[in-house]
């Protein structure tokens, strides 16, 4: 069990460019979550899927952020027209019936 | 809405001294409470989870007691070790979420000095 896998681990984009972050949840886990981590805000919930269906995206900035889960083995978080304030660590997590497991995150830097 | 408060952003103490990290919460219903620990460049990992039968969870020398009367779930350890230096998050999961959707506090960075 390799755990939740996130790629890339680090990504640098220019202001205004698009960034796509990938997550491979643990096999068999039905729920997948995305969080954003910054020093100032800590861990903020963005969105989650259950059995690939979007359930709650209340934490997502509406205009430039989108998330998809096209199959049970991966989810993507896409940020269009990236801005410096989008710089953060983006964490993906998946859950069994008893526990949530996090990936190591993708550190996004917008320059 | 539901929320978690961790009042200490930074805690520094000497090896061997006791650890207590504060966590209080607000929730409409009786949520599950958690402590997660994150070492540098690593994934957050579950440290403790509250039980519905009020048992005190313990792991790696850490324990926490859920006090519903004061809405608190403070993390304690009798003797800090150098390896305990990490970022600690308190979190809750509302029972209404239907899954383990977590609401986190702002985190406490614990540094243990020799």
Number of domain units in chain B: 1
> Which pLDDT does position B29 carry in this prediction?
83
B→A interface, C-beta within 8 Å = 36, 41-46, 49, 89, 91, 97-107
Tokens of A24: 């491979």
For residue B54, pLDDT over 70 is answered with no
Q: Are B42 and A41 a contacting pair at CB < 8 A? A: no
The 10s digit of each residue's pLDDT in B7-40 is: 999 999 999 999 999 999 999 888 889 999 999 9
* Number of domains, chain A: 1
- pLDDT of amino acid B55: 65
Q: Is the pLDDT of residue B56 over 90?
A: no
Task: Decide if pLDDT at B53 tops 70.
Answer: no
Query: pLDDT above 70 covers what percent of chain B?
Result: 93
> What would the two tokens of residue A20 be?
């796509």
pLDDT tens digits for A41-55? 899 999 999 999 999
Return the CATH number at A103: 2.60.40.10
Q: What is the CATH number of the domain that holds B95?
A: 2.60.40.10
- Count H helices and E strands in chain A, helices first: 0, 11
Q: Would strands B19-21 and B75-77 be described as parallel, antiparallel, or unpaired?
A: antiparallel
Range of the domain at A69: 5-110
Of the candidates A30, A43, A101, which has its C-beta nearest B89's C-beta? A43
Supply B63's token pair: 């324990």
The answer for residues whose C-beta is within 8 angstroms of residue A61's C-beta and 6 or more apart is none
Which residue, A25, A48, A24, A41, is CA-closest to A87? Answer: A41
């Amino acid at each position: 069990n390799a755990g939740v896998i996130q790629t890339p681990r680090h990504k640098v984009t220019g202001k205004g460019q698009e960034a796509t972050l990938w997550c491979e949840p643990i096999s068999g886990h039905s729920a997948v979550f995305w969080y954003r981590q910054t020093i100032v805000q800590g861990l903020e919930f963005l969105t989650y899927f259950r059995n690939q269906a979007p359930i709650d995206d209340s934490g997502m900035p509406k205009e430039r952020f989108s998330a998809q889960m096209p199959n049970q083995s991966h989810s993507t978080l896409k940020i269009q027209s990236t801005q410096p304030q989008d710089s953060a660590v983006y964490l993906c997590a998946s859950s069994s019936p008893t526990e949530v497991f996090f990936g190591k995150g993708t550190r996004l830097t917008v320059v | 809405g539901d929320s978690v408060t961790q009042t200490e952003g930074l805690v520094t103490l000497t090896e061997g001294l006791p650890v207590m990290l504060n966590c209080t919460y607000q929730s409409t219903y009786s949520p599950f409470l958690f402590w997660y620990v994150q070492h540098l460049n690593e994934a957050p990992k579950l440290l403790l989870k509250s039980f519905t039968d009020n048992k005190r969870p313990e792991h790696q020398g850490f324990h926490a007691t859920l006090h519903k009367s004061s809405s608190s779930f403070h993390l304690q350890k009798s003797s800090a070790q150098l390896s305990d230096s990490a970022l600690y998050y308190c979190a809750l999961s509302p029972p209404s979420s239907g899954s383990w959707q977590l609401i986190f506090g702002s985190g406490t960075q614990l540094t243990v000095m020799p």
